[in-house]
């Protein structure tokens, strides 16, 4: 893994590519998973210190992914930012109540994405360390 890894769980290739380009410009390495189950497996294996999570995934949805992260003693402290097209009134509150640390609606704004990632990225993440 690179110096500042971030896991992005997103089924849409174009969205993954966009986030990868935006965050790479700021020195982040974006690890990519196409669905919730592979994302959870990558999170357990690689332990990146931040997760970006699409809510509308093809296998298990993002809310189930965050529920499994929060139920796992070794992963529960990992910050999770929901990135979703759901932008209805109350969606932000619903995602925060279900365990996400923050929320960003699509279409993404590069500066908003960078600001959220910078805000939630641990200052000194120790590789493989428990939080």
Mind listing the pLDDT tens digit for each residue in 60-107?
999 999 999 999 999 999 999 999 886 667 788 889 999 999 999 989
Instruction: Give me the CATH number covering residue 100.
Output: 3.40.50.2300
> Domain tally for the chain?
1
In a domain, 125, yes or no: no
In a domain, 40, yes or no: yes
Give the predicted TM-score (pTM) of the model: 0.90
Specify the pairing of strand 102-105 against strand 5-9: unpaired
46-63 pLDDT per residue, tens: 999 999 999 999 999 999
pLDDT tens-digit series, residues 5-44: 999 999 999 999 999 999 999 999 999 999 999 999 999 9
- 69, part of any domain: yes
Cβ proximity of 16 and 10 under 8 Å? yes
> What residues does 51 pair with on adjacent strands?
7, 80
Q: Give the domain extent around 112.
A: 5-120
Question: Is 43 among the domain residues?
Answer: yes
Considering the domain boundaries, does residue 19 fall inside one? yes
Does residue 131 lie in a domain region?
A: no
Enter the tokens of residue 79.
């910050």
Q: Is residue 126 part of a domain?
A: no
Question: Could you give the CA distance from residue 37 to residue 19 in angstroms, rounded to a whole number?
Answer: 20
């Amino acid at each position: 893994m690179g110096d500042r890894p971030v896991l992005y769980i997103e089924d849409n290739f174009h969205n993954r590519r966009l986030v990868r380009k935006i965050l790479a410009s700021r020195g982040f390495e974006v690890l990519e998973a196409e669905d919730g189950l592979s994302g959870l497996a990558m999170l357990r294996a690689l332990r990146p210190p931040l997760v970006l999570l699409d809510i509308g995934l093809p296998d298990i949805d993002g809310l189930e992914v965050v529920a499994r992260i929060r139920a796992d003693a070794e992963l529960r402290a990992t910050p999770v930012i929901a990135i979703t097209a759901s932008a209805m009134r109350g969606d932000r509150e619903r995602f925060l109540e279900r365990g996400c640390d923050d929320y960003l609606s699509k279409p993404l704004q590069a500066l908003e994405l960078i600001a959220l990632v910078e805000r939630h990225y641990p200052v000194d993440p120790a590789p493989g360390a428990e939080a």
